[in-house]
Structure 1
Amino acid sequence: MENSNLLKISTSTGLIKVASKSQGEVFFHTIQLKLLWGYCWWQEKPAIESFLDLLESVIKKAIHGVLPHQELFLDYNLETNDSLEKSSQVKITFNQIYADNVEFHMPENILILKGPDDRGSFSRLSSFRRKLNENIQKTI
């Protein structure tokens, strides 16, 4: 029963697909990144923070589609190659996901987003001071 509750996040160009499975029920949801980035640019919202908020809500929706629950606990590590605003690479490593104390297993627990790196040479050299590497634990 340990692996009967699954959450899978996969990527392809411009898309992130979230799928959940529990007791024979399956739920799929897709995030279209170009639409999200365009919305963030138009509304002058921070892109990575908006993406993380959307990803968390999509995970909650995907799990709720197969296992109705009240609280979702997410534990993940967030790593960037610069500050959030200037980063061209974001790595999310999922540690634990629980829906009302029921664990969801992730066979592939790492999600990496890469974009064009338009930072200058000095900014790249000094980015080690601004790199982000933190653990985020949230109940939503």
Structure 2
Amino acid sequence: MAVSPVLLIKVSDSVVSVRARLYDDFAEHEIIINSVITYWWANNLPPAKKFLELFDSVIKRTINEIMPHKILNLKYNVNANQTLDDASEIEIELCSVEADGVGFKIEGDHISLKGLRNVSDDFESKEFSLTFNQSIETPDMVLKKYQEMKN
């Protein structure tokens, strides 16, 4: 029986932890929500949209550290209280993660973030849902560095 790699997502005290494990090897990275949100607010960037970009990047980096790969396929559903440009709350359900054809077992597949943006009294909550099918390629030069680190 083959051992599947595992991706664990955990949210606690405004920190999102992403951990990948294969046998005894693991890598972990954290997103400190308050720090990045402050930056996004100061630069007038949409926090929900920017969080999803950062989330993709952190998953890719974490998995690359234990299992260098060319293509990462991510599938996740996002529900928000407005379009991603204006949302103050998002929920993410991670459906599948696959690196170069190897599927990951996902633990902690639901993330819920609130207070991403200050809303006015006349803010109108409008349900917004979207499914993302991301295919993220690792540049050859970066892949080579991860492979060297692994060996």
Q: 1:2 to 1:74 in 2, by over 3 A?
A: farther
C-alpha distance in structure 2 between counterparts of 1:117 and 1:41, whole Å = 9
Partner of 1:120: 121
Q: Kindly, what percent of the aligned residue pairs are identical?
A: 28
Alignment of 1:23-42 (within 5 A): 23-42=23-42
2:19 is matched with: 19
Structure 1, unmatched stretches of 5+, are: none
Secondary structure at 1:106's aligned position in 2? Answer: strand
Is the contact between residue 18 and residue 29 of structure 1 (CA under 8 Å) also seen in structure 2? Answer: yes
Name the structure 2 match of 1:136: 132
Partner of 2:55: 55
Aligned residues: 135
8 A contact 1:3–1:105 mirrored in 2 = no
What is aligned with 2:96? 96
Give the RMSD, CA atoms, in angstroms: 1.9
The residue identity in structure 2 corresponding to 1:120 is: D
The answer on whether the counterparts of 1:86 and 1:119 sit within 8 Å (CA) in structure 2 is: no
2:84 aligns with 84
Query: 5+ residue gaps in structure 2?
Result: 137-151
User: Distance in 2 between the 1:2 and 1:136 partners?
Assistant: 28
- TM-score, with normalisation over the residues of structure 2? 0.81
Matches of 2:84 and 2:44, distance apart in 1: 15
Q: 2: distance between equivalents of 1:3 and 1:108?
A: 19
Question: What's the CA shift for 1:117?
Answer: 7.0
